[in-house]
């Protein structure tokens, strides 16, 4: 394992980019997912249809295909993106579809009486959604969002196909340099496991804290 230790800084740099891509994509995915969930629940027929089609397409196609479409496919239409930007966009769009389903289920889990009570106090429907329903829905959504977040961490390995030097790509470059496979792939497997375990621990703490309230 000396070869891994010697190249650990390079692998750690790849892990940093993996975390960066995960956090940025999850941030924008949360926004996309929340808007999509509200559109499916409260939107008119047009927005509900658009939201359903979006979720259906994204959940029905492989993330790898989505990544190469954004990075390579858009070039046909004069849109050239650098690898990191393409990764952010593709993964944000992908995760947004799954997050929307988590939010939709969470919002629908909030008792209807909560909305009725908010409306009775003089709130508009939008205010009731923003101040009453969504804060409670977030607590219900934490467990599925946690699973989605961990899944996104592992899916970042797919952006190695567009030469983003995240953890998987870093291992591939080292394999090409030293012509050995097992040490580097075992090392990144352990690193993915550690990151996933840490995220799971943090999310469990957040869930417990929110359950108090």
Q: Is the pLDDT of residue 213 over 60?
A: no
What's the token pair of residue 72?
């390579």
Q: Which of 103-107, 127-131, 168-172 has the highest mean pLDDT?
A: 168-172
Q: Give the whole-angstrom CA distance, residue 57 versus residue 51.
A: 10
Q: What is the average per-residue pLDDT within 107-129?
A: 78
pTM of the model: 0.86
Q: Is the pLDDT of residue 50 over 70?
A: yes
Task: Please tell me what DSSP assigns to residue 5.
Answer: H
Q: Which of 1-15, 24-38, 155-169 has the highest mean pLDDT?
A: 24-38
Q: What is the average per-residue pLDDT within 2-8?
A: 88
Task: Please tell me what DSSP assigns to residue 65.
Answer: H
Torsion over CA: 139, 143, 148, 151 (sign): positive
pLDDT at 36: 94
Q: Give the whole-angstrom CA distance, residue 159 versus residue 146.
A: 21
The SS3 of residue 131 is helix
User: CA angle at residue 67 from 165 to 201, to 5 degrees?
Assistant: 65
Question: Between the CA of residue 47 and those of 3, 30, 39, 121, what are the distances in Å?
Answer: 54, 18, 6, 28
Residue 92 CB partners (closer than 8 Å, separation 6+): 24, 25, 28, 29, 32
Q: What is the mean pLDDT of the chain?
A: 88
Q: Which domains does the chain have, with CATH numbers?
A: 2-212 (1.10.3720.10)
Q: What is the average per-residue pLDDT within 193-204?
A: 88
- In this structure, the chain runs to a length of 213
What percent of the chain lies above the pLDDT cut of 70?
Answer: 98
Q: Is the pLDDT of residue 194 over 90?
A: yes
- Which H or E run contains 124? none
Residue 7 CB partners (closer than 8 Å, separation 6+): 174, 184
Q: What is the average per-residue pLDDT within 16-41?
A: 92
């Amino acid at each position: 394992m000396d070869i891994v230790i010697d190249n650990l800084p390079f692998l750690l740099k790849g892990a940093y980019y993996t975390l960066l891509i995960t956090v940025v994509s999850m941030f924008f995915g949360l926004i996309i997912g929340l808007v999509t969930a509200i559109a499916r629940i409260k939107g008119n027929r047009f927005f509900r249809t658009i939201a359903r089609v979006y979720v259906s397409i994204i959940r029905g196609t492989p993330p790898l295909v989505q990544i190469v479409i954004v990075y390579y496919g858009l070039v046909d239409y004069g849109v050239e993106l650098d690898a990191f930007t393409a990764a952010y966009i593709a993964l944000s769009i992908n995760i947004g579809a799954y997050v929307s389903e988590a939010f939709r289920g969470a919002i629908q889990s909030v008792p209807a009486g909560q909305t009725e009570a908010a409306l009775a106090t003089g709130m508009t429907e939008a205010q009731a959604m923003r101040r009453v329903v969504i804060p409670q829905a977030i607590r219900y959504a934490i467990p599925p969002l946690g699973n989605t977040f961990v899944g996104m961490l592992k899916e970042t390995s797919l952006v190695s196909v567009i030469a983003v030097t995240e953890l998987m790509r870093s291992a591939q470059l080292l394999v090409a340099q030293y012509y050995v496979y097992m040490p580097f792939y075992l090392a990144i497997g352990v690193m993915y496991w550690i990151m996933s375990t840490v995220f799971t621990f943090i999310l469990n703490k957040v869930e417990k804290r929110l359950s108090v309230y």
